[in-house]
Amino acid sequence: MTDDELRAAVAAERTEQADLLAALRPEQWDAPTLCAGWRVREVVAHTTMPFRTSLGRTVVELVKSGGSVNRMADRCARHDAAALSAGELLASLRRNVAHPWAPPGGGVRGALSHDVIHGLDITVALGLDRRVPRERVAAVLAGMSPRHLAFFGTDLTGVRLEATDLDWSHGEGTPLRGLAQDLLLVLCGRRLPPGRLDGAAEPRFTGTEGQRAS
């Protein structure tokens, strides 16, 4: 994808997520997600934080968190999820579907990754049958590197991931097959509900901190 295509994909992903979130029942906003320790409302607070937060506040929060982006993300998501209603969080997302934010060093592809991964944190945990368009998943997978796996604490030694809906694989060893979007979650250190993957391979996850800043 070109940068223009990636920007269009980001806007489409945010629009579709906003429509999905608008249909959730109140109790679903308080349901756990695949992002360890966060409910749906914390995830949405996190993904909308760049739209609502000034550079000054970000710097202050980073200092309060001892310079740790992950600790800052967790503190701010919990604070904002408590301070803002589901309606306010949803409105922030709707207003900013075309917002140009991108994670430092990640570019537009990083913004798409951020939205796609956290969107899946919500839909997979809630058991919603949402398929992210394959071209978006492919674009996110194309940006993954060994550095990302280390960041997420994912050890795939002896495991070969094989997508059943894309011409994509990763690694060598015992096959683990599934939808590309589910394998993306494996790369990002998420523990999936049973039955979503096929194969005897068992990835090892050594941490959850990276999930919050993905």
CA torsion sign for 67, 71, 74, 75 is: negative
pLDDT at 211: 60
Range of the domain at 22: 3-213
Identity of residue 141: L
**In what side-by-side order are the strands of the sheet with 169-170?**
169-170, 159-163, 174-178
- Specify the residue for token string 């979130």: 21
* Distance separating alpha carbons of residues 36 and 20, to the nearest angstrom: 21
Distance of CA 207 to the CA centre of its chain: 16
pLDDT at 81: 98
- The SS3 assignment for 133 reads coil
The predicted model scores a pTM of 0.94
Q: How many domains does the chain have?
A: 1
For the chain, 214 residues long, the average pLDDT of each consecutive 10-residue run is: 97 98 98 97 97 89 91 95 98 98 93 98 97 98 92 94 97 97 97 95 78 60
